[in-house]
Structure 1
Amino acid sequence: MTKDSGTIYSHYRAPIAQLGDGVEAYVLDEVGGEKQEKPRCVLSKRGCASALGLKSEGGSAFIRTLTRKGVGSAIGENLRHKLENPIIFKYIDPGSDTSVHGYETSTFVEVLQALLIARRTGNLAPSQEFLAQNAEMLLVALANTTLDTIVYQETGYWSVVEGQRISEILDKYLVDQARKWAKTFPDEFWFKLIKVKGYPSYLALKRPAFVGHWVNDIIYDRLVPGIRQRLNDLNPRTETGRRKKMHHQFTSEHHGLPELKEHLIKVMAYMDVSSNDKQFMRMLNRALPKFNTTYEMPLDED
């Protein structure tokens, strides 16, 4: 299929149960053949209508309802402009594409908030009260997360790009032997790590460098007494700030890697039984404390 320049495309679609039956969301991951670094999340017009209980009239009911007397009093000029100009994009199915009209998730949340304002100011007609009730229930359902987070997860977008994101982080923020060994970690370690640290995905990290600190903290500083210091002593930085060799040149399959794999199994077990990062770190510090003593680690030096 030939893609038009400037046309918006989505390859990810899923129903969003938190918003009700028949509510579908999309991730707009491509524009004119270019993959988007931060794709927008949208709901179809029909999905927006369904979420508010306007199922019988479909998507066309959404804009009509929000511009009627009463509800329309809480719709500001900026929001009205967004509603009158829906995003038009193509959802790509294998071998075909379907044109869809929709609104960004942030626009939909603005609508929910506007409905509550209209009720609070007494501008809703009795026949419109159900809209505010539904809006309130939806906002409560979204209280502990963001709608974008839900859309990224439910559509499978995050799971598709997660591996690539993790690889980029490792290459950029881990150095020397840490990068080499970290790439041998099982995939489940990375998913458990981001979950226990309280993030929905590595894509949500505003400071990816945290990953390097986490790996040093929970892995290398606890693996063998003095491992980081020992590696620095064996392979010091020169006056230019660089090292003559990579740290992993001082490790081998027989010295270091077996201990690492055993340590990872223990760490992941504590991740599984921890409900949050604070509990995880408390258990880790008790069972696998950091080493502060100098230790001559038996590494290969040739």
Structure 2
Amino acid sequence: MSERNDLDPNADAASELARKGGRARAAKLGAEERSAIAAAAAAARWGDVHVAESTGEIRIGNLSIACAVLDDGTRVVSQSTVLQALGRNPEKSRRTRGTSELRAPFLLANNLQPFISDQLRDLDEPIPYRVAGESGRSLGYRAEMLPLVCLVYIDAAKAGALDSKQMGAAAAAEILYRGLATVGIVALVDEATGFQERRARDELRSILEAYVSAEFRQWVRVFPDEFFEQIYRLQGWDYDKRSSKRPGYVGKLINKYIYDALPVGVTEELQRLNPKNERGNRPRRHHQHLTADTGNVHLDRQISTVITLMRISNSNSEFEDLFARAFAPQLRLPVVIDPGSYRDAPKQ
């Protein structure tokens, strides 16, 4: 029995009650609260290290290297799996942790030093990180370092500087380098971890946050009379400035020339926030959901540009050609419109 239990026979019972109480409290916590507590505990145990937000595995031939994208966007490859790929014992880095914290263990051999470039020496700094939900921490290196490490072994082999135990590492480095030469290492890491999809989503979210607001602003007139005058002129229609009634076809042209020329994803988000009702009408104008400092600024600029192109065009076909040359890279799909198939729409 421990010294504490000798002094207090009820210590074991009290300890068990405390454990039960802790489990009961944990059961009452929400998922976010438990996650925050676990994250704080991990940080306290492993120190202030980066967390891997996405992880994966790069496979080249029979070789496999674990990789990750950290919470600051840094792409890293795992030290232990690089050692394995080069035919080295990954346990060696654990036994010599003091040295491996400062230098990559696969670059410590004296006969490799003449072949290490200054660029590689700048990258030869381990990055400690941990994977969420897993115990312990890992050491990694910037992914850009890997092809440079391969070149060290390849160049040393060509110079006859390697010993027999290192020749296997040189052969593996040759395989890795050839594979990495085909596709950039950063792209490989992004593909293996699925990070490119998340990055695309993050970029789209940033665009939508800048352009679109869930809260709608009071309606104000944003399309000047000349915009409609020029559309009617190019279509060969009679324009009555006193009437606010527009053919439904005009709404399709506005989408084509104005909204679809905004960044990809903006039109779809506007349609989501401002859906059609059962009669096919929208409760608000799309521009009421555009942000004042970015969305409406771009909208105004687009309207002005389109008016200018229409103004200098002698025919609708000439305008369409000018518009396609000016904005074709931004358009996703050709728009084929039958004017007779649309009902009249209220004023824009």
TM-score (norm 2): 0.45
Aligned-pair distance for 1:108? 1.7
**What is residue 239 of structure 2 aligned with on the other side?**
none
Q: Which runs of 5+ in 2 are unaligned?
A: 1-37, 214-247, 260-269, 283-327
Q: Name the aligned partner's letter for residue 131 of structure 2.
A: Y
Cα distance between partner residues in 2 of 1:134 and 1:56:
15
Q: Count matched residues.
A: 206
Q: Name the aligned partner's letter for residue 65 of structure 2.
A: V
**What is residue 82 of structure 2 aligned with on the other side?**
48
Cα distance between partner residues in 2 of 1:91 and 1:7:
10
RMSD over equivalenced CA pairs, Å: 4.6
C-alpha distance 59-297 of structure 1, shift in aligned 2 (>3 A): farther
1:151 to 189, 203, 224: 189
Aligned-pair distance for 1:9? 1.7
2:152 to 114, 119, 131: 114
Cα distance between partner residues in 2 of 1:78 and 1:140:
20
Q: Look at both structures and tell me which one has the larger radius of gyration over its CA atoms.
A: 2
Aligned-pair distance for 1:100? 1.1
The secondary structure found in structure 2 opposite 1:152 is helix
| Corresponding position: 1:300 with 2:345 | yes
Aligned-pair distance for 1:122? 3.8
Cα distance between partner residues in 2 of 1:234 and 1:23:
48
**What is residue 88 of structure 1 aligned with on the other side?**
128
C-alpha distance 173-71 of structure 1, shift in aligned 2 (>3 A): farther
The secondary structure found in structure 2 opposite 1:88 is strand
User: Are the equivalent residues in 2 in contact too, given 1:227–1:295 (CA < 8 A)?
Assistant: no
Cα distance between partner residues in 1 of 2:130 and 2:169:
29
1:25 to 51, 56, 67: 67
**What is residue 167 of structure 1 aligned with on the other side?**
205
Summarize deviations over 1:104-148 as a string: whole Å, max 9, x none. 111122111222232344433344333232112112222332222
Q: Which has the higher strand share?
A: 1
User: Are the equivalent residues in 2 in contact too, given 1:41–1:151 (CA < 8 A)?
Assistant: yes
Q: Which runs of 5+ in 1 are unaligned?
A: 30-35, 176-223, 236-245, 258-280
Cα distance between partner residues in 1 of 2:146 and 2:117:
14
Cα distance between partner residues in 2 of 1:14 and 1:168:
25
Summarize deviations over 1:12-65 as a string: whole Å, max 9, x none. 333322375563212211xxxxxx3xx111122111101212247554699444
Cα distance between partner residues in 2 of 1:49 and 1:65:
7
Cα distance between partner residues in 2 of 1:299 and 1:248:
22
The secondary structure found in structure 2 opposite 1:98 is coil
The secondary structure found in structure 1 opposite 2:75 is strand
User: Are the equivalent residues in 1 in contact too, given 2:83–2:106 (CA < 8 A)?
Assistant: no
Q: Name the aligned partner's letter for residue 79 of structure 1.
A: L
C-alpha distance 106-117 of structure 1, shift in aligned 2 (>3 A): same
